[in-house]
Amino acid sequence: MSQLRKDFLWGGAVAAHQLEGGWQAGGKGVSVADVMTAGANGVERRITDGVKPGENYPNHEGIDFYHQYKSDVDLFAELGLNCFRTSIAWTRIYPNGDEAEPNEAGLKFYDDLFDALLAKGIQPVITLSHFEMPYHLVKEYGGWRNRKVIQFFVNFATTVFERYKDKVKYWMTFNEINNQAEYSGSFALFTNSGVKVAPGENAEAVMYQAAHYECVASALAVQIGHQINPDFQIGAMIAMVPLYPASPDPRDVFKAERAMQARYWFAEVQATGYYPAWLTKYQENAGFDLDITLEDRDVLQSGKVDYIGFSYYMSNTVHAKKNEPDSFKYEESVDQVRNETVPISEWGWQIDPMGLRYAMNWFTDCFRLRLFIVENGFGAVDKLDANGHIHDDYRISYLRDHIEQMKLAVAVDGVDLMGYTPWGFIDLVSAGTGQMSKRYGMIYVDKDDDGNGTLARSKKDSFYWFQHVIATNGEDL
């Protein structure tokens, strides 16, 4: 049975800050990713106040894609990709974020990259903001908590839409915009929104404000993008982690429902232009003083996304507390429980291929939009054999199981799916750990957590496997 569209987009996904390096090349400014240290065994990444001497900042070099992109694109072509998902580093185009004029050297870099891709029949798929806003906007404006940042983002989006309107058709606004629903730690709020929460401040209210401005900025970008080129397809990008009830206890079932709402209202706003009723009520009951104007609501209505892009790595399971308050408010760190029916990765991520089918159905039922799986993959420590090869059968089996479920969602459930771009198909810096050793790649990059290595690229077993999958349009796994 032929299951996937003939023009299915088979690609690989990366983000500028995780592979480009060249953090000061061509006049690039400092981004939030540039001020985050590498984690070490058991020690989390730290956010530093600007770039400090003596710290290890893994994103500064990445895998040096900035200088090596031409030979990398040759490898991507050999793999058989017909699309390549990356982001445009905002700080290459507007180094501080608030300049009046863009930086020509930065624009030229992406012209050259896109030309190299297109020459090989590979379409760029571009995320406008992937955890890399200019650090200057954090220092001077407080990141996305400030309404002024909307205009800076719109300037950036307009500049790149105009410049690449004949080279790029598929866009996404904010990577995993909903990650900040987990606002209690500093990481998600900082990487997504450049927001630092002051002691005594209500992090939840700050998150809702920042996220609202991002949704408005996203809607404005969609509107402007469609004016610049009506053929543009501009999507949301949602981190999808389905949340299952731990038991048939109605309280657990309602908790799971509430948890899904708390994580995925972002998709609703971007896809329908409306805030869900529960959220407006919740914000009102909580007494949050949010700047959400009638004009903003009109903007949200006139800039709905064309498709839902999403990442999928795992599912999670939640249960209700003993004395659950009436709100059944979801608190990720307390409400999650281990789902014993599925295995976990070395990093504790639950491996659940069927959750991908569940997620595809859920999105389709809610929004009736086309879907694009723009991240999926297996982070693992790879070991070289005596000949320097990597036999990553564990990665192949993860990807195979997920693609099988993806095909069922299309062929059996009728989901409209545009494409599939596995994450980090070339090894790169992990966003969560800042380390190289958590690898997702089909292409190995010789570099360790301390920055040692030749940066040489080589093919893992998964490279040849995925090459065949693409060549058969997913028929032969």
Residues contributing to the site for ligand BGP (CB under 6 A) = 15, 175-176, 239, 311, 375, 379, 423, 430-433, 438
Closest CB 361 distance from ligand BGP, rounded Å: 22
Query: To the nearest whole angstrom, how small is the minimum distance from the Cβ of residue 176 to ligand BGP?
Result: 5
Give 426's strand partners: 443
The tokens 């985050």 sit on which residue? 36
CA–CA dist 276, 258 (Å, integer): 12
> Which CB atom, from 129 or from 283, has the smaller least distance to ligand BGP?
129
Q: Which residue is closest to ligand BGP by CB?
A: 432
Cβ atoms of 132 and 14 within 8 Å: the answer is no
User: Which residues, other chains included, contact 10 with Cβ-Cβ below 8 Å and sequence gap of 6+?
Assistant: 80, 81, 82, 83, 419, 420, 421, 469, 470, 473, 474
CB 191 to ligand BGP: min, Å: 9
How is the chain split among helix, strand and coil, in percent rounded to 5? 45, 15, 40
Residues 400 and 477: beta-carbon distance below 8 Å: yes
The burial of 31, by beta-carbon neighbours within 10 Å (0-12 exposed, 13-18 middle, 19 or more buried), is given as: buried
Find out whether 399 and 377 touch, Cβ atoms under 8 Å: yes
- Minimum CB–partner distance for residue 16 and ligand BGP (Å): 10
3-state secondary structure of 123: strand
**Would you call 375 a catalytic residue per the annotation?**
yes
Nearest Cα residue to 143 out of 64, 104, 90, 101: 90
- Rounded to a whole number of angstroms, the minimum distance from the CB of residue 146 to ligand BGP is 24
Cα–Cα distance between 389 and 371 in angstroms, integer?
A: 35
In the complex, what is the shortest distance from the CB of residue 13 to ligand BGP, in angstroms, rounded to a whole number?
8
CB 191 within 8 A of CB 182: no
Beta strand 443-445 with 457-459 is antiparallel
CA 385 to CA 368: how far, in whole Å? 47
Q: Are 58 and 436 spatial neighbours (Cβ–Cβ below 8 Å)?
A: yes
User: Which of 220/238 has CB closer to ligand BGP?
Assistant: 238
Catalytic residue among 20, 182, 214, 375: 375
- The type of residue at 299 is V
Beta carbon nearer to ligand BGP, 34 or 252: 34
Residue 172 or 417: the one with the smaller Cβ distance to ligand BGP is 172
Q: List residues with catalytic annotation.
A: 375
